[in-house]
Amino acid sequence: MSKPRILRYVIGVTLLVTMLLTLVVSPVAAQTQPAATNTLELVTKFPIFEGNSGDAFDFEVVLRWSGPGSKSFVLTVEEDLPKWQAVVLGGYPQKNISAIGVEPDVSETVTVRLSPLTGEMPEPGLYKATLTAASGDGAINQKVELTANVKAKYLFAFYTTSGRLNIEATAGKENHLATRIQNTGSTPVTEISFLATKPEGWDVKFVPDEVDKVETGYASEIDVIVIPPRQVVPGDYLLTLKTIGKEVGTRDIELRVTVLTPTLWGWVGVIIVLLVIAGLVFMFRQLGRR
């Protein structure tokens, strides 16, 4: 066989083998090539937030969609909390939303706000809600759990029932001042005692002198008895009343006390002044006669 014929033979065999390999390998490659995925992700960096009772908790959630073309997802929050409410916020400025459109491989962020109803002070504990994003037909959906870790909030007040911070007191007598302790926090306040920072020689009493517990939303009346010394000089004095609770520390009332002399001693003073004047008049008359 001549060399040209051998060359043509080799080239023909090579082309035939190449065609056969193309016919065999192409379908296999087509079968092994990964199919396009439809994946939705919900990601939050902080799934648990801690705060005081009565606070609102904002959770940022990122949606990522991997699929052909943009897609719209319905957003719902599931929570079985009778005294709470949950909303989904989006856009700028933020507004309530119930659905969001997401482009392929583009992240969209929404905020889930979990908050107690107005005026409610939930007990300390964990409160959970679940955000669900689902396609219109429900075929694609994803969920993320969000948790509010509620801590106790102590709001405790000590004040005079009249609202005044100045009183008048009679020296040597019991002078009564009506005060109130009130718990507007989310948990009881316990082991409450009282003390006073007072001028030397004064006596201050609290009735009752201790309170075991004040429940949330309740108040207790405290009668403060102020007794300035009988010989005290009339005028203004500073008196500080303190209440001390196991959980709340101290609460103070600073009072300006105007001390008056007793009525009897006032008349005695007037009589003494009159006697002195009478004595002086008598002396002048006696000296005038001489």
pLDDT by residue (tens digit) across 239-256? Answer: 999 999 888 889 999 999
Residue 25's pLDDT is: 47
Q: Give the pLDDT of residue 18.
A: 65
Which one, of 180, 145, 147, lies nearest residue 162 by Cα? 180
pLDDT, position 153: 84
Specify whether the CB–CB gap between 45 and 35 falls below 8 A.
no
In the chain, which stretches have pLDDT less than 70?
A: 1-37, 262-270, 282, 284-290
Query: Rounded to the nearest 5°, which phi and psi values hold at 154?
Result: -100, 115
Structural domains of the chain, ranges and CATH numbers in brackets: 39-151 (2.60.40.10), 156-265 (2.60.40.10)
- Residue 287 in 3-state DSSP? helix
Residue 6: its pLDDT value, please? 60
Looking at residue 77, its amino acid is V
pLDDT at 248: 85
Question: What pLDDT score does 267 carry?
Answer: 57
Collapsed DSSP state (helix, strand, coil) of residue 190? strand
Q: What is the pLDDT of residue 160?
A: 95
Average pLDDT of every residue of the chain? 85
